Amino acid sequence: MPRDPRFDPLFQPLKIGPVTAPNRFWQVPHCTGMGNRHPRTLAAMRGVKAEGGWGVVNTEYCSIHESSDDTPAIHASLWDDHDVRAHALMTEAVHFQGALAGVELWHGGIRVSNAWSRLAGLGPVSAMAENVPWQSARMDRQDVALLRQWHRAAALRAVQADFDVVYVYAAHTYLLAQFLDPVLNPVDWEARIGLVLALAEDTREAVGHRAAVATRIEVTDEDGTGQEERARLLERLAPLIDVFDVTIPDYGTEMGPSRFVKEAPLENHVAHVRAVTGKPVVCVGRFTSPETMLGQLRRGVLDFIGAARPSIADPFLPKKIDEGRMEDIRECIGCNICYAHDGLGAPIRCTQNPAMGEEWRRGWHPEDVPAITGRADPVLIVGAGPSGMEAALVLGRRGVPVLLAEAEDSPGGRVTREARLPGLSEWARVRDWRLGQLAKLPQVELFRASRMGVQDVLETGVGHVLVATGSLWRRDGTGRSNPGGIAGLGAVLTPDDILAGARPGDGPVVIFDDEGYHIAAGLADLLAAEGHEVTYVSPGGAVAEWSAYTTEQSRLQARLIGQGVTILTHLALAGRGEGTAEFACVHTGKPLGVACGTLIPVTSREPQDGLWHGLQGKGLTTLERIGDARAPGLIFHAVHDGHRAGRALFAPPEGPLRREVIAL
């Protein structure tokens, strides 16, 4: 279909400094956990985004000097010629698709660990680095002069690597933001803004003839005040800057998980920047709706639609708008699993887009799967959760006839259940997008309300079977704290029961969170909101500890506090007493009884692989269990495994994963 002309403004080129962006889709700098460790992986991934229509594709934060080393998080660097060659792989891949490539020059200041480089961090003060018990050095005049030299040298290397946009990065609590912060740098305003202006000037002077100079900067001070002073700063910067990439200091909103933050949350904060600077403005907003994007341009809020997560979930989002295929847009669900893996020091992945990070390593493309050559035998997939649906989609697209049998009336499996937790309705996009795509494939047939037993499977006469029957939460307390389970727990409700509609009876509810991600906290929130008296108990030190990686931890804890939930930590479930749940301190073993009418153990899950066992030795050509039926994981694991299985069937065996080879 041709593009709806209403969306033409999104496809108008725009000159920025000495270069011209081909359209208004700006993939803002975002971390990938690839950085200077995985240059080919990175180049292929960014190249795919350019292929999908992102007019400007940026790197992640790119260190200008070894004194800015964010270990264990992985970042890019422009320290030497080796780095220039590594980045050139990316700029070449991006240019090949007709897009511009940008780089975000970065110094972390007081925040970085420098655990690899062992150099001192630098900043306007000597302060504690993040998550480690050591401090940075207070910068003197010579340090400032050196910093300017490093920044300038990195900008020149950026141009050598053929970047078209060079960022002066003054946001996100890194070095330049520290200089702008009146708390960390309590000098007069002119002195505070001096370094940012100097670096903008240096960068313009060094590379402004070849590359657009951008800045990423907040529109208020760290505490959310000082908007007028910031506006004056933006005005001062305007002659030096070609594009303003603006945001607010509250990262939890900018990078907001959908549980708490919806589309376009920054509009009111940044709407003045265009008028103040007279320069093109970009800002993120987890934009996935073309209408919302258009509105941003029409109302004069933005010139470029900034996106990190929407471009991760669907690298082809711009192309789909261009081709009038709105319904094909694979919308980000706002789970922040992409961000979580940067914190884990691992390459990025995405719940919605299983090809993310696999473009080079496995040769996966987010839109194309290799068609079957010759006759394709039909495949039966049992279970239409995320893994079964994704496998059906891949196989269907490859031209394979698929029977997809689902026990329940409504497909989606765990996604359908988990999307019922407070704030998680957008997670249902995992199901809904796949259902929409499957409906376009006549060779895939979905059978609802069709629970398959061994005999039912054999009666279909289909010789290739993928068992995607998922997993269910255990009732016996088996988990990290109690690997052998707990005898005599008695009747409990599981998360599956609650999310299927069961509710506690009289008396207090006790939720034991041995998993540590979000399910137990979500249930506590849900049940407290319904009026139950809820106690949340964790063997860890905080509510939903793992969700710190997805930026949700603190807000989840605040929410439970706000709901009046009693929070108990450092306690492991030990058993059940008369009207109590019995716990023991994980450090001392000291027992504690907690009043309990209904116990909800959130400990671990049991793979539902009985069907797979039952089909062993029954003469099937293919019999594989996939997704949670094999290894219960997060939703992204299930989607990825379904995708892998869909590609692997009727294909030569996959070789070992491709690795980045370090020349020796």
Contact residues: ligand ADP, CB under 6 A: 382-388, 405-408, 413-414, 451-452, 468-471, 608, 611, 627-629, 638
Total site size for ligand SF4, rule CB under 6 A: 13
Cβ distance to ligand ADP smaller for residue 391 or 543: 391
- Which 291-310 residues touch ligand SF4, going by CB under 6 A? 309
Q: Does residue 643 touch ligand SF4 according to CB under 6 A?
A: no
Find the largest Cα–Cα distance for the chain.
81
For residue 589, count CB atoms less than 10 angstroms from its CB and return exposed for 0-12, middle for 13-18, buried for 19 or more: exposed
Stretch of 24-32, 117-125, 195-203, 350-358 lying at the interface with ligand SF4 (CB under 6 A): 350-358
- Which 319-338 residues touch ligand SF4, going by CB under 6 A? 332-338
Query: Which of ligand SF4, ligand ADP, none sits in contact with 414, Cβ below 5 to 8 A by type?
Result: ligand ADP
Q: How far is the CB of 336 from ligand SF4 (least distance, A)?
A: 5
Cβ distance to ligand ADP smaller for residue 457 or 581: 457
Distance spanning both ends of the chain, measured CA to CA: 51
Cβ distance to ligand SF4 smaller for residue 261 or 337: 337
Q: Does residue 352 touch ligand SF4 according to CB under 6 A?
A: yes
Cβ distance to ligand ADP smaller for residue 73 or 466: 466
Question: In this structure, are strands 122-123 and 100-106 parallel, antiparallel, or unpaired?
Answer: unpaired
Residue pointed to by tokens 């470029």: 304
Query: Which of ligand ADP, ligand SF4, none sits in contact with 638, Cβ below 5 to 8 A by type?
Result: ligand ADP
Are the beta carbons of 246 and 205 closer than 8 angstroms?
no
Query: Which of ligand ADP, ligand SF4, none sits in contact with 608, Cβ below 5 to 8 A by type?
Result: ligand ADP
Cβ distance to ligand SF4 smaller for residue 313 or 489: 313
CB atoms within 10 A of CB 80: 11
Cβ distance to ligand ADP smaller for residue 35 or 385: 385
- Tell me the two tokens of residue 443: 């060779």
Query: Which of ligand ADP, ligand SF4, none sits in contact with 446, Cβ below 5 to 8 A by type?
Result: none
Query: Which of ligand SF4, ligand ADP, none sits in contact with 206, Cβ below 5 to 8 A by type?
Result: none
Determine the Cα–Cα distance for residues 33 and 348; give it in Å rounded to an integer: 6
- Tell me the two tokens of residue 545: 């500890």
Q: How far is the CB of 340 from ligand SF4 (least distance, A)?
A: 8
Amino acid at 258: S
CB atoms within 10 A of CB 585: 14
Query: Which of ligand ADP, ligand SF4, none sits in contact with 482, Cβ below 5 to 8 A by type?
Result: none
Query: Which of ligand ADP, ligand SF4, none sits in contact with 451, Cβ below 5 to 8 A by type?
Result: ligand ADP
Q: Does residue 389 touch ligand SF4 according to CB under 6 A?
A: no
Question: In this structure, are strands 56-63 and 379-382 parallel, antiparallel, or unpaired?
Answer: unpaired
Query: Which of ligand SF4, ligand ADP, none sits in contact with 332, Cβ below 5 to 8 A by type?
Result: ligand SF4
Q: What is the 3-state secondary structure (H, E, C) of 588-635?
A: CCCEEEEECCEEEEECCEEECCHHHHHCCCCCCCEEEECHHHCCCCCH
For residue 5, CA distances in Å to 12, 20, 325, 329, 531 come to: 12, 22, 13, 18, 51
Task: Please state the separation of Cα 36 from the chain's center in Å.
Answer: 20
Query: Which of ligand ADP, ligand SF4, none sits in contact with 155, Cβ below 5 to 8 A by type?
Result: none
Give the three-class secondary structure for 444.
strand
Residue pointed to by tokens 């706000």: 562
| Among the listed residues 600, 597, 599, the one whose alpha carbon sits nearest the alpha carbon of residue 507 | 597
The dihedrals phi and psi of 413, each to the nearest 5 degrees, come to: 55, -130
Q: Reading across the β-sheet that carries 622-625, which strands appear in turn? A: 444-447, 402-405, 379-382, 464-467, 622-625
Q: How far is the CB of 357 from ligand SF4 (least distance, A)?
A: 11
What DSSP string runs through 453-488?
-HHHHHHHT-SEEEE---EEE-SS--SSS-TT--TT
Cβ distance to ligand ADP smaller for residue 29 or 383: 383
Name 591's bridge partners: 584
Q: How far is the CB of 309 from ligand SF4 (least distance, A)?
A: 4
Cβ distance to ligand SF4 smaller for residue 547 or 604: 547
Q: How far is the CB of 31 from ligand SF4 (least distance, A)?
A: 11
What DSSP designation does 324 have? T
Cβ distance to ligand ADP smaller for residue 29 or 413: 413
Stretch of 164-172, 192-200, 266-274, 347-355 lying at the interface with ligand SF4 (CB under 6 A): 347-355
Residues with a known catalytic role: 174
Q: How far is the CB of 260 from ligand ADP (least distance, A)?
A: 24
Give the three-class secondary structure for 55.
coil
- Tell me the two tokens of residue 606: 């049991």
Stretch of 10-18, 45-53, 298-306, 348-356 lying at the interface with ligand SF4 (CB under 6 A): 348-356
Q: Does residue 32 touch ligand SF4 according to CB under 6 A?
A: no
- Binding residues (CB under 6 A) for ligand SF4: these are 309, 312-313, 332-338, 350-352
